[in-house]
Amino acid sequence: MLNEKSYKKIEQDLNLYYSNNNKDIWRNNFHIEMPFGLVNDPNGLSYFNDKFHIFYQWNPFGCEHKTKHWGLVTTTDFVNFTKPQIILKPEDWFDKNGCYSGCGLVKDDELKLYYTGNVRSASGERESYQCVAAYNKNGIVEKQGVIIEKQPEGYTAHFRDPYIFIENKIYYMVLGVQSNDLKGKVLIYKSEDAMKWELLGELKTDMKNFGYMWECPNLVKINDEKYGFIFSPQGLESMEFKYQNIFQSGYVIGSLDLKELKLDNHSEFKELDMGFDFYAPQVFNHDNQNLMFGWIGLPDKDFEYPTFEHGWMYSLTIPRVLEYKNNVLYQKPFEKLKNLRQSQILNINDLSCSDYKLNLKSRCAEIILNLGISETNIVQVKFKFKDEYILITYDKKSQICIIDRSNMCLGGKGIRKFKLETGEELKLHMFIDNSVMEIYYQDGLEVTTLMYFPKDDKLEIEIKSDDKIQINELCAWNLRSVKYE
Ligand code: FRU
């Protein structure tokens, strides 16, 4: 199936898609997604050759989790993107069943792409090879083969998702792995040239019994003393206010001791996103900022997303800057996203009312809402699409926020419930796209990402309270569609 003819067809289909405007109503305007096939993890995120390079897992041939390629779009301004291109194809013995997730490293004028080659052996067993490819400034990619052959003793073949960081001019690679007693772990390797890798061992943390597999690890320098260990553990039990999705993504922050291979004095695991649809984030550093993209979707939940019928699935989040404060990572929409603002449609300050309704002609908007709240207020924000709706309820007294998606006909339903600490203001910064909503609370202390599939095009947002509402600020912009050329 993966022959020259099938790739020619992909190219033609891409051109066709971008030259006409017949898009279904759930097609997002500014979230990165593919015209067809299935997108998952962001990969190889880098700033290279004066452009942001955003690679991602992509099955261009269908909406199933198979034949994973690396796709690529590049941009400078987050409005104009290059058309998606296939960069890594699963066509060699070491990656024939999937070019799985990995990272990018700018080195000697090239962008090195590290990834996991997924292979099913003749007897049907999983084999994992860590591989590298070189991508140059002319866009030519050359696979350079395997750098780490299979997993070391003591671990299963769930061994993947290389991520590189540099400390004192030495390269370190972390890899997600499962120990033989079925526990999630990460292994650390070391290299002087980023080609020959030596195993150092397991990273020691206080999370001894924390799921059966850790996917997509990132070790990210936060400041001179602290590292953030961001990863996606599988197998955590659901609790009232956390771990409500099938799998989680979050972080701990501590001091990295590379001699002892230990993350010292680390904080408790905190989820990065309390919404319904978020997984496998990746972080890269640009201009001294840690920028993160996540996958809007989750493994093993494909049946919940009706775009399956339309031949496309999932998106990437907008880029989020991670800011460290009070031992927490605040997530802020990346500054360049302001380029998406087309026209300001609202600018309200200091309004006191009993109920406020905002009608959006186009669903694609950025909205900043700051509400003054009293100690006992219960506030609701309702997203209404004719007879369907999504409801956010915040109870100031108990500091509980609930997002309820049960009144939508299509797509995943249910609620997500989390603790949200507020002072005198409840602050929401919302990015609403045609089938994705990302909401940043209290300057990015918490974020919820969700997909929604309304039958009606129009959106009315209603803000209500058990008492009077005090709108300290309400600003809204129409957001433009990004272009792929
Ligand atoms: C996470 C993940 C990674 C793997 C990739 C395969 O979503 O399972 O661990 O490399 O997706 O597409």
For residue 143, the model assigns a pLDDT of: 98
Look at residue 269 in the predicted model and tell me its pLDDT. Answer: 98
How far is it, in rounded angstroms, from Cα 235 to Cα 218?
19
First CA to last CA distance, the chain: 27
Confidence of residue 246 (pLDDT cuts 50, 70, 90): very high
Residue 112 tokens read as: 């090195």
What atom of ligand 1 comes closest to residue 161's alpha carbon? 10
| pLDDT surpassing 90 at residue 361 | no
State the pLDDT confidence band at 352, using cuts at 50, 70 and 90: very high
What is the per-residue pLDDT across 234-245, written as a single tens digit (0 to 9) for each?
A: 999 999 999 999
- Asked whether residue 475 falls in the same domain as residue 410, the answer is yes
State whether 99 and 39 are in the same domain. Answer: yes
Domain final position from 306, 333, 360: 333
**41 part of the active site:** yes
Please tell me the residue having the least CA distance from ligand 1 atom 1: 280
Residue 12: inside a domain, yes or no? Answer: no
d(C-alpha 371, C-alpha 351), whole Å: 10
Query: What's the burial of 479, exposed, middle or buried (CB within 10 Å: 0-12/13-18/19+)?
Result: buried
Single out the residue in 333, 355, 383 at which a domain terminates.
333
Residue 418 predicted with pLDDT over 90: yes
d(CA 131, CA 86): 17
State the closest ligand 1 atom to the C-alpha of 215, by its place in the atom list counted from 1: 9
User: Comparing C-alpha atoms, which of 387, 448, 383 is closest to residue 420?
Assistant: 448
The pLDDT of residue 116: 98
Task: State if residue 160 touches ligand 1 by the CB under 6 angstroms criterion.
Answer: yes
Query: Does the CB atom of residue 216 touch ligand 1 within 6 A?
Result: yes
Q: Is residue 1 scored above 90 in pLDDT? A: no
The H-or-E segment that residue 407 falls in is strand 400-407
Q: What is the pLDDT of residue 354?
A: 85
Mean pLDDT along residues 23-38: 95
Q: What is the mean pLDDT of residues 296-322?
A: 95
User: Is 35 domain-assigned?
Assistant: yes
Give the domain CATH number at 405.
2.60.120.560
58 and 84 fall within a common domain: yes
**Whether residues 219 and 103 fall in one domain:** yes
Best of 177, 213, 216 to mutate for ligand 1, by most ligand atoms within 8 A of CB?
216
41 CB less than 6 Å from ligand 1? yes
* Average pLDDT of the residues of the chain: 96
Q: 103 in ligand 1 pocket by Cβ < 6 Å?
A: no
Same domain, 303 and 375: no
CA of 362 to the centre of ligand 1 (A): 34
**For the ranges 63-77, 167-181, 242-256, 453-467, which has the lowest average pLDDT?**
453-467
Give the whole-angstrom CA distance, residue 88 versus residue 85.
9
| Cross-strand partners of 328 | 325
Whether residues 426 and 467 fall in one domain? yes
- Asked if residue 371 and residue 281 are part of one domain, the reply reads no
* Residue 455 Cα distances to 33, 306, 407, 413, angstroms: 21, 11, 12, 15
Reported as a single tens digit per residue, the pLDDT across 434-467 is 999 999 999 999 999 999 999 988 899 999 998 8
Shortest-distance atom of ligand 1 to CA 216:
9
* Paired tokens of 109: 């004028």
CA of 160, closest atom in ligand 1: 10
Structural domain total, the chain: 2
> What is the pLDDT confidence band of residue 201, given thresholds at 50, 70 and 90?
very high
pTM beyond cutoff 0.85: yes
Residues 346, 327 share a domain:
no
**What pairing do the DSSP bridges indicate for beta strands 312-313 and 37-48?**
parallel
> Which pLDDT belongs to residue 21?
77
Mutate to test the pocket of ligand 1, among 161, 212, 230, 279 (most ligand atoms within 8 A of CB): 161
Antiparallel, parallel or unpaired: β 51-59 and 37-48: antiparallel
Q: How far is CA 158 from CA 107, 122, 152, in A?
A: 28, 18, 11
Contact assessment for residue 315 and residue 76, using Cβ atoms and an 8 Å cutoff: no
183 contacts: CB under 8 Å, gap ≥ 6: 208, 209, 210, 211, 212
Q: Which of 13, 24, 41, 193 is catalytic?
A: 41
- State mean pLDDT over 86-105: 98
Q: Given a cut of 80, is residue 310 above it in pLDDT?
A: yes
Instruction: Measure 299 CA to ligand 1 centroid, in angstroms.
Output: 8
Indicate if ligand 1 lies below 6 Å from the C-beta of 320: no
Residues 115 and 193 in one domain: yes
- Determine the longest span between alpha carbons in the chain, in angstroms: 69
Q: Residue 433 pLDDT > 80, yes or no? A: yes
**Is residue 280's pLDDT more than 90?**
yes
Same domain, 355 and 326: no
Indicate if the pLDDT at residue 263 is higher than 90: yes
Stretch 412-438: mean pLDDT: 97
Specify the pLDDT at position 413.
95
Domain check: are 82 and 225 in the same one? yes
Residues 6+ apart with CB under 8 A from 372: 424, 425, 470, 471, 472
The pLDDT value recorded for residue 467 is 87
Q: Is the CB of 280 under 6 A from ligand 1?
A: yes
Burial per residue of 111-129, b for 16 or more beta-carbon CB atoms within 10 angstroms, e otherwise = bbbbbbbbbeeeeeeebbb
Model confidence at 376, pLDDT cuts 50, 70, 90, reads confident
Select from 333, 367, 402 the last residue of a domain.
Answer: 333
CATH number at residue 246: 2.115.10.20
Domain containing residue 58: 27-333
Residue 9 per-residue DSSP state: H
The mean pLDDT value for 257-276 works out to: 98
Task: Label residue 159 by pLDDT band (50, 70, 90).
Answer: very high
Question: Is the residue at 13 inside a domain?
Answer: no
- For ligand 1, the distance from its centroid to the CA atom of residue 101, given in whole angstroms, is 6
Over the stretch 109-147, which tens digit does the pLDDT of each residue have?
A: 999 999 999 999 999 999 999 999 999 999 999 999 999
Ligand 1 atom nearest 101 alpha carbon: 10
> Are residues 283 and 218 in contact, defined by beta-carbon separation less than 8 angstroms?
yes
